Structure 1
Amino acid sequence: MRVMVKELQEGCILSADVYSKTNRPIMKKNTVLNNELINILKLFLIRDVHVEKTLINGMPYTPIEVLDDENLAASKEESEQEALRLSDLFLIAVQKYKREFKSWQAGLPIDISRIREIILPLLEKMETSTSEIFTLHHFSTKEDYIYQHSVAVAIFSAFIAKKLNYNKGEIVQIALGGCLADCGMAKISNTILFKKTSLTVNEFEEIKKHPTHSYKMVQNISLLRDSTKLGIAQHHERLDGSGYPFGEKGNKVHLFAKIIGTADTFHAMTSERLYRSKQSPFKVLEMMSEDQFGKFDPVVLKALMSGIMNFSNGSKVKLSDGRVGEILFIDEKAPIRPLIKLLNSNEIIDLGKHRHIFINEVFTEASN
């Protein structure tokens, strides 16, 4: 929806790029606004901007005036449907998960029924919002990353499981496993969890205990299958034996753990964190399949990749340097690095030869 800049508040999320008098945006879509950024918009004399209907804290954003005439004329039913976008449900779910996490920190046991209530609406929405799944990393903030991560891992784990043709019951179990894989972080000191600089060796050793803590917290939950519990315990194990806590390798790592571990790494590397900047999803997939070759199951990785690479010749994309183009040709051997024609200049760029440039995102109909 389009609103006046004077009505913005901290936590608003831009739903479209903001331009001034240049061809490059002064602020990009999915930016989470704070008072400093709002003041910058005012300094640039920006009158109005497009924002999401949900704040970053999961609460609805209700400005006094909405400028879009079509929105004002929309029926109540259409408005409700728009409000149920996956990103809105995700932000709301994060706040619910945050409350559960804090209860675990206080020593209370996991209420699995509440976790199901958080996750199931997301799985239902995922059926019709596949492309939106791969924009969730934009909503990660340094302060709430740990909560956002668990909800996102649940969604990505379910997506992979669906691509691998698991049945509905198994998909729900894998999603629950993804959501609870890091529940053991509640047993780690907040001083370590929310440290703003890189962890020391000793601090990282404490973090590496979280899969064991997580398993102990879920081991007596009867509604979780043994395979789900094993997936939680092993989600940081890697096929080459380089993972933790036990250094398991190959077939000793359960398939549920391979799925959750792939989802966990993908979201972590694409998200803004306390001591690490987010990276392009396309760059991350390339790193996971090439730089970290041998750590992740190639079948699982391909299932994840099939979602983010759901584009074809003619698809519009935004590159890591901010330029926009359309795909001319996709090489099956290197689908992440297609041939791109820039829209402004008609220049042809072969991403296979320009390794420092990546696709940042593919434009869907909703983002055009």
Structure 2
Amino acid sequence: MPSLPAAEVQAGSKIIQDVITPLGSTLFAKGKILLPRDLEILQAFLIQHVEIEGSENENKTAEPTKVASKQAAVKTGSIVNETLLSKSNSPLHDEYDKMLVLIKSSYRSVAAASLPIYELRSQLELLISHLNDYHVLKFTPHVLSEEDYNYHNAVLSALTCYKLAGWCGYPQKDWMQAAFAGLLHDIGNTKVDPALLLKPDSLSSSEKEEVRRHTTYGYQLLRNVTAINEGVRLAALQHHEKVDGSGYPLRLEGSQIHFYAKLVAVADIFHAMTLERAYRKPQSPFLVLEQLLKESFGMLDPVIVQTFIQKTTDLYNGTRIRLSDGRRGEIIFTDRSNPTRPMVQVEGKIVNLAIERELYIQEII
């Protein structure tokens, strides 16, 4: 079989040369057997040609493929593609982008086909292998489009839940399942009218009720999926329950809520508020942490919230930041009793954010 355009490659083909992204990273290694989902990943990364086993060009290097891919990417003129190519690359971003493509495809097809749980697990493991490079407050995906909000929320929640499970001292056997809980918690949204999910105005009572059904829809979709445990299914059902019994759909209290669902509740709220939505700009992660602290009194699990805040704000002195008024500076001291409001040095002056409450950290640079 000759070198083929990526659009003509079939599942089951064996790669004989590393597939290189336009930014120079290895997308798929030599010897990989392509799965159906891999074909979508090839297209998402703008790969133009792939060297397949039996190719008459087996002895040639992969460099022409790399160059051709890069040239083709430039010719597209797509804003999204240009944005992707303009970002610095990293293994974490590479695996994140692959996970995003896979979860997007999985969510869209789940109503008509079984969930590709083993492919999801394989890619999730690859993503988590770079977890040391993931900082909850610092990590920004390459491309953030409003229509992909649910998928970004899923992948980010998976990463955060994995970390949070470890921080909270849960057994290591639960960490991957907690990541699955984050990845799949909103899968029930696939059965909700998209217009309701994107509606910027207040929802009517009947519309709210329909949106809230995503929790039961999610449990139903995951009920017969293998390789996940019951806690993952319960996280889909219970992640909007509140420890004081005011949540939905079952108005469960405290210990009645599975701890995966409690982890997901914190991760979901954090990423929902810090990601850009069709009707709302992203909020400062530091202000969101403060909001989570307020909700920990009667609504979210207080131990999980406090652990999340302490761990994510454990930043080294000298961390560069941008304040809400646009000025740039660096953290010089963090008082653990006010972890979201450290002392920062700005333009030669020390600003105590615990005192100057009108200011806050907008982002870490």
TM over 0.5: yes
Aligned residue type for 2:353: L
2:114 to 99, 109, 128: 109
Following superposition, the deviation at residue 52 of structure 1 comes to 11
Counterpart residue number, 1:160: 164
Following superposition, the deviation at residue 155 of structure 1 comes to 1.0
Counterpart residue number, 1:327: 331
2:231 to 210, 216, 227: 227
Aligned residue type for 1:59: F
Q: Given the two structures, how large is their TM-score scaled by the length of structure 2? A: 0.72
CA 1:205/1:163 → structure 2, altered by over 3 Å: closer, same or farther? same
| Structure 1 residues 75-114: aligned runs within 5 Å | 83-105=89-111, 107-114=112-119
Counterpart residue number, 2:124: 119
Following superposition, the deviation at residue 83 of structure 1 comes to 4.4
Following superposition, the deviation at residue 139 of structure 1 comes to 4.7
Aligned residue type for 1:108: A
Following superposition, the deviation at residue 246 of structure 1 comes to 1.2
Following superposition, the deviation at residue 60 of structure 1 comes to 5.7
Counterpart residue number, 1:205: 209
CA 1:59/1:132 → structure 2, altered by over 3 Å: closer, same or farther? farther
Q: Given the two structures, how large is their TM-score scaled by the length of structure 1? A: 0.72
**Alpha-carbon distance in 2 for matches of 1:109, 1:157:** 24
**2:262 is equivalent to residue 258 of structure 1:** yes
| Equivalent residues of 2:181, 2:231 under 8 A apart | no
Following superposition, the deviation at residue 297 of structure 1 comes to 1.2
Q: In the comparison of the two structures, how many residue pairs are matched?
A: 292
Where does the alignment leave 5 or more consecutive residues of structure 2 unmatched?
A: 1-22, 28-40, 48-68, 73-87
Following superposition, the deviation at residue 91 of structure 1 comes to 2.3
Counterpart residue number, 1:353: 355
Aligned residue type for 1:242: S
Following superposition, the deviation at residue 189 of structure 1 comes to 1.8
Aligned residue type for 1:118: Q
Deviations 1:222-275 (A, max 9, x none): 322122222221111111222111111211111111001111111001110122
Counterpart residue number, 1:142: 146
Q: Secondary structure at the residue paired with 1:173?
A: helix
**Alpha-carbon distance in 1 for matches of 2:275, 2:295:** 19
**Alpha-carbon distance in 1 for matches of 2:359, 2:186:** 33
Deviations 1:119-162 (A, max 9, x none): 22111111x21326742378532111111111111111111012
Counterpart residue number, 1:285: 289
Deviations 1:274-298 (A, max 9, x none): 2222101111000110256321112
| Equivalent residues of 2:161, 2:182 under 8 A apart | yes
Aligned residue type for 1:352: A
**Alpha-carbon distance in 2 for matches of 1:152, 1:125:** 13
CA 1:263/1:357 → structure 2, altered by over 3 Å: closer, same or farther? same
* Paired-residue identity, %: 32
**2:179 is equivalent to residue 175 of structure 1:** yes
Deviations 1:94-133 (A, max 9, x none): 111111111124x22323212213322111111x213267
| Equivalent residues of 2:309, 2:339 under 8 A apart | no
| Equivalent residues of 1:160, 1:304 under 8 A apart | yes
Deviations 1:160-211 (A, max 9, x none): 0121233443111111111111111111123323445554332222110111
Runs of 4 or more above 6 Å deviation = 51-55
| Structure 1 residues 1-20: aligned runs within 5 Å | none
Q: Secondary structure at the residue paired with 1:143?
A: helix
- Range with greater deviation from structure 2 (282-291 or 300-309): 300-309
**Alpha-carbon distance in 2 for matches of 1:189, 1:306:** 38
Counterpart residue number, 1:316: 320
Counterpart residue number, 1:22: none
Where does the alignment leave 5 or more consecutive residues of structure 1 unmatched?
A: 1-50, 66-81, 364-368
1:267 to 259, 265, 271: 271
Give the aligned CA root-mean-square deviation in angstroms: 2.8
Q: Secondary structure at the residue paired with 2:287?
A: helix
**Alpha-carbon distance in 2 for matches of 1:124, 1:346:** 40
CA 1:162/1:259 → structure 2, altered by over 3 Å: closer, same or farther? same
Aligned residue type for 1:101: Y
Counterpart residue number, 1:7: none
Q: Secondary structure at the residue paired with 2:110?
A: helix
CA 1:360/1:336 → structure 2, altered by over 3 Å: closer, same or farther? same
CA 1:310/1:362 → structure 2, altered by over 3 Å: closer, same or farther? farther
Q: Which has the larger radius of gyration?
A: 2
**Alpha-carbon distance in 2 for matches of 1:283, 1:117:** 35
**Alpha-carbon distance in 1 for matches of 2:278, 2:297:** 26
